[in-house]
């Protein structure tokens, strides 16, 4: 998701020399499993079959939810999240059963000796206040758009409303025929009903988290980006992903606009990571409260982005990257949100590099780094993996997005391009349609690179801040020897980082070298003499924007 409308594009860079292999001196890996706490232990929803009757006007809906539920360990009671709405009946395997209601939950006893999987049916109705955003658009037309992140699906869907429990979803929506209904997955049918109403069914056959299960019901114009908009290799053959854009009718003349390269974005990510995870991809003008929301196969963008002409390729690239990272591979715990937002941030920058070149990528990485260094809230006081944060909206911060994105950039330099993309492909293939934690990514990177990376993940993701390096350099003209004195801390402590410096002499000749700065408060490093040593008149630190650090340089 993108929290705000994006003014500038983000970008990518990669071209770094592989660093010399280093011994693992870090404290070793922390097992994420230790902090896992199942949201609804013993219960695993396999599928949601959701039927909604939408009104001609107003916000009162009627719903019928059918959940197929598997037992993972023995539990006596099924607890479903549902706020506010009235529950009319609950059935288990066709038999009406008693239930109890709290303001936020439905409690139903599993039948003794009942078989699993069990089919649970919930009939409900009422006025929807959130989750499904019902409002009149600027032309006074009724519109409804799902907007669930992080746990607002429970305003309108009886569910196990947590990213750890993914399921398939079928949507059957009955609405006035003049509304176009779009939802996750593929269109199954349209069927006219009496009284000018229409029934529309969509089905997503891959498991997705509840926060991505949405519908749109509004007067929408459809624009096809073509059946070949985004292709890639799938096994031995080529597969293409149809893409459609849906906007308010009066916005249609603007298309394709920023969506002109939506197909290329899919093809590029496909080539980097692996096959697009779903059957199709839709982009919609919507009422999401975010700049963009990556609902599986149906990305919702802020209405204002269209109306003010601010839709842009960077935002499309960000939300499209989420289809792989966030949607197909989902963070199992909210504290690992960077596995979704850090990836989307970095992959948007990678798209910039691919489409617009190195200078644009470097500019994006500079602006990502500048955001981290300027942040006075999350970055200096919280680690990226923030298991103590209970306010989920507060996780939409510079740590999850920009710092997470820059960490992925530094991880790439640490292991080298070949290992990095091999690991991403393996991570995606292993956890696609499932969930993952940070250690799963670490293990994929360790496997591909042969390096122990616990120290890297710990220093960048499990403690706040970033390195603050004070670099004093001096040179000896007779020996051409250049010495760096580097001080770190005390604000965030000392980090172990590679540091590239570029020496430049009075004639403009340059020489680059990379040194490993150990995690020590004070260190003196002598640069190795190059094959054609120069006497530097100036020294540039981190010329390629590869290090997340605040760096001050002095000459002695
Ligand atoms: Zn995002």
Ligand 1 centroid distance, CA of 292 (Å): 7
Task: Examine the pLDDT at 21 and tell me if it is beyond 50.
Answer: no
CA-closest candidate to residue 501, choices 553, 556, 466, 434: 553
Sign of CA dihedral 491, 496, 498, 504: positive
Question: Is the separation of the CB atoms in 26 and 459 below 8 Å?
Answer: yes
How far lies 105's CA from each of 158, 159, 161, 168, 209, in Å?
9, 9, 11, 22, 18
Ligand 1 centroid distance, CA of 227 (Å): 26
Ligand 1 centroid distance, CA of 148 (Å): 14
Task: Examine the pLDDT at 540 and tell me if it is beyond 50.
Answer: yes
Q: What pLDDT digit, counting tens, does each position of 399-418 carry?
A: 999 999 999 999 999 999 99
Task: Examine the pLDDT at 510 and tell me if it is beyond 50.
Answer: yes
Confidence band of 19 (pLDDT split at 50, 70, 90):
very low
Helices in 375-465 by DSSP H: which ranges? 378-381, 404-415, 417-431, 438-449, 454-461
Ligand 1 centroid distance, CA of 133 (Å): 20
Task: Examine the pLDDT at 227 and tell me if it is beyond 80.
Answer: no
Ligand 1 centroid distance, CA of 105 (Å): 29
Ligand 1 centroid distance, CA of 181 (Å): 24
Q: Give me 67's structure tokens.
A: 């959940």
Ligand 1 centroid distance, CA of 303 (Å): 17
Ligand 1 centroid distance, CA of 340 (Å): 7
Ligand 1 centroid distance, CA of 352 (Å): 16
Ligand 1 centroid distance, CA of 162 (Å): 17
Ligand 1 centroid distance, CA of 119 (Å): 34
CA-closest candidate to residue 334, choices 437, 265, 422: 437
Q: What pLDDT digit, counting tens, does each position of 67-94 carry?
A: 999 988 889 999 999 999 999 999 999 9
Q: Give me 282's structure tokens.
A: 């839709």
* pLDDT the model gives residue 234: 85
Q: Which of 151-155, 226-230, 525-529 is the least confident region?
A: 226-230
Ligand 1 centroid distance, CA of 325 (Å): 9
User: Mean of the pLDDT values across residues 287-313?
Assistant: 94
* pLDDT the model gives residue 174: 98
User: Mean of the pLDDT values across residues 322-348?
Assistant: 98
Task: Examine the pLDDT at 125 and tell me if it is beyond 60.
Answer: yes
In sequence order, the 6+-apart residues with CB closer than 8 A to the CB of 437 are 32, 33, 36, 331, 332, 333, 336, 339
Ligand 1 centroid distance, CA of 294 (Å): 7
State the angle between helix axes of 262-273 and 338-356 in degrees (0 to 180), rounded to the nearest 10: 110
User: Mean of the pLDDT values across residues 179-204?
Assistant: 98
More confident residue, 545 or 26: 545
User: Mean of the pLDDT values across residues 147-154?
Assistant: 97
Ligand 1 centroid distance, CA of 502 (Å): 35
Task: Examine the pLDDT at 113 and tell me if it is beyond 90.
Answer: no
Q: What pLDDT digit, counting tens, does each position of 28-50 carry?
A: 334 444 445 789 999 999 999 99
Ligand 1 centroid distance, CA of 73 (Å): 34
Ligand 1 centroid distance, CA of 236 (Å): 32
Confidence band of 374 (pLDDT split at 50, 70, 90):
very high
Confidence band of 186 (pLDDT split at 50, 70, 90):
very high
* pLDDT the model gives residue 287: 93
In sequence order, the 6+-apart residues with CB closer than 8 A to the CB of 113 are none
More confident residue, 97 or 5: 97
Ligand 1 centroid distance, CA of 321 (Å): 8
Ligand 1 centroid distance, CA of 17 (Å): 29
Classify residue 40 by burial, with Cβ atoms within 10 Å: 0-12, 13-18, 19+: buried
DSSP helix/strand/coil, 244: strand
Ligand 1 centroid distance, CA of 63 (Å): 29
Ligand 1 centroid distance, CA of 336 (Å): 13
Task: Examine the pLDDT at 12 and tell me if it is beyond 80.
Answer: no
Question: Is the separation of the CB atoms in 230 and 163 below 8 Å?
Answer: no
CA-closest candidate to residue 5, choices 216, 319, 263: 319
CA-closest candidate to residue 26, choices 402, 484, 414: 414
Confidence band of 529 (pLDDT split at 50, 70, 90):
confident
Ligand 1 centroid distance, CA of 71 (Å): 32
Ligand 1 centroid distance, CA of 511 (Å): 39
Question: Is the separation of the CB atoms in 513 and 501 below 8 Å?
Answer: yes
User: Mean of the pLDDT values across residues 337-352?
Assistant: 98
Ligand 1 centroid distance, CA of 52 (Å): 28
User: Mean of the pLDDT values across residues 330-357?
Assistant: 98
CA-closest candidate to residue 128, choices 215, 209, 44, 189: 215
Ligand 1 centroid distance, CA of 446 (Å): 26
pTM of this prediction?
A: 0.93
Ligand 1 centroid distance, CA of 344 (Å): 6
Mean pLDDT of the chain: 92
* pLDDT the model gives residue 252: 94
Task: Examine the pLDDT at 517 and tell me if it is beyond 70.
Answer: yes
Q: What pLDDT digit, counting tens, does each position of 430-477 carry?
A: 999 999 999 999 999 999 999 999 999 999 999 999 999 999 999 988
* pLDDT the model gives residue 36: 56
Confidence band of 15 (pLDDT split at 50, 70, 90):
very low
Ligand 1 centroid distance, CA of 337 (Å): 10
Ligand 1 centroid distance, CA of 394 (Å): 14
* pLDDT the model gives residue 328: 98
Sign of CA dihedral 222, 226, 228, 230: negative
Measured CA to CA, the distance from residue 155 to residue 165 in angstroms comes to 18
Ligand 1 centroid distance, CA of 400 (Å): 9
Ligand 1 centroid distance, CA of 315 (Å): 9
Task: Examine the pLDDT at 23 and tell me if it is beyond 50.
Answer: no
* pLDDT the model gives residue 480: 82
């Amino acid at each position: 998701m993108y929290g705000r409308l994006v003014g500038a594009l983000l970008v990518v860079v990669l071209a770094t020399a592989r660093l010399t292999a280093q011994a693992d001196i870090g404290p070793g890996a922390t097992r994420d499993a230790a902090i896992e706490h199942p949201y609804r232990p013993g219960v695993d929803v396999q599928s949601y079959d959701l039927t909604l009757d939408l009104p001609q006007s107003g916000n009162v809906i009627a719903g019928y939810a059918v959940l197929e539920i598997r037992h993972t360990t023995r539990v006596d009671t099924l607890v479903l999240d549902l706020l506010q709405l009235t529950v009319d009946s609950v059935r288990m395997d066709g038999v009406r059963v008693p239930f109890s209601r709290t303001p936020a939950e439905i409690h139903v006893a599993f039948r003794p000796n009942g078989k699993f999987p069990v089919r649970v049916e919930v009939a409900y109705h009422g006025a929807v206040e959130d989750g499904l955003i019902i409002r009149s658009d600027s032309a006074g037309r009724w519109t409804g758009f799902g907007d669930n992140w992080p746990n607002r699906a429970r305003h309108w869907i009886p569910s196990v409303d947590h990213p750890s429990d993914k399921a398939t979803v079928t949507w059957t929506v009955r609405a006035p025929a003049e509304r176009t209904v779009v939802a996750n997955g593929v269109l199954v049918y349209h069927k006219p009903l009496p009284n000018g109403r229409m029934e529309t069914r969509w089905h997503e056959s891959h498991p997705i988290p509840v926060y991505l299960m949405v519908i749109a019901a509004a007067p929408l114009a459809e624009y096809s980006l073509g059946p070949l908009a985004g292709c890639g290799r799938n096994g031995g053959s080529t597969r293409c992903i149809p893409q459609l854009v849906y906007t308010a009718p009066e916005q249609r003349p603007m298309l394709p606009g920023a969506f002109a390269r939506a197909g290329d974005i899919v093809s590029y990510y496909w080539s980097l990571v692996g096959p697009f995870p779903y059957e199709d991809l839709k982009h919609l003008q919507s009422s999401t409260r975010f700049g963009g929301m990556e609902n599986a196969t149906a990305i919702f963008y802020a209405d204002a982005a269209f109306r003010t002409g601010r839709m842009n390729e960077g935002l499309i690239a960000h939300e499209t990257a989420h289809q792989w990272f966030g949607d197909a591979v989902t963070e199992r715990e909210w504290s690992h949100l960077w596995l979704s937002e850090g990836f989307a941030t970095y992959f948007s920058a990678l798209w910039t590099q691919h489409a617009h070149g190195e200078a644009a990528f470097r500019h994006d990485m500079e602006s990502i780094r500048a955001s981290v260094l300027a942040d006075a809230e999350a970055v200096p006081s919280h680690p990226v993996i923030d298991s103590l944060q209970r306010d989920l909206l507060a996780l939409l911060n510079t740590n999850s997005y920009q710092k997470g994105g820059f960490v992925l950039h530094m991880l790439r330099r640490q292991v080298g391009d070949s290992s990095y993309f091999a690991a991403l492909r393996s991570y995606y293939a292993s956890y696609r349609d499932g969930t993952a934690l940070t250690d799963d990514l670490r293990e994929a990177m360790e496997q591909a690179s042969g390096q122990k990376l616990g120290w890297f993940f710990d220093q960048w993701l499990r403690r706040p801040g970033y390195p603050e390096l004070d670099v004093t350099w001096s040179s000896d003209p007779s020996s051409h020897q250049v010495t760096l004195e580097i001080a770190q801390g005390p604000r965030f402590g000392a980090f172990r980082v590679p540091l590239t410096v570029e020496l430049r002499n009075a004639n403009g000749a340059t020489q680059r070298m990379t040194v490993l700065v150990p995690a020590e408060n004070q260190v003196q490093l002598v640069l190795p003499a190059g094959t054609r040593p120069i006497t530097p008149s100036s020294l540039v630190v981190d010329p390629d924007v590869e290090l997340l650090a605040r760096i001050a340089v002095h000459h002695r």
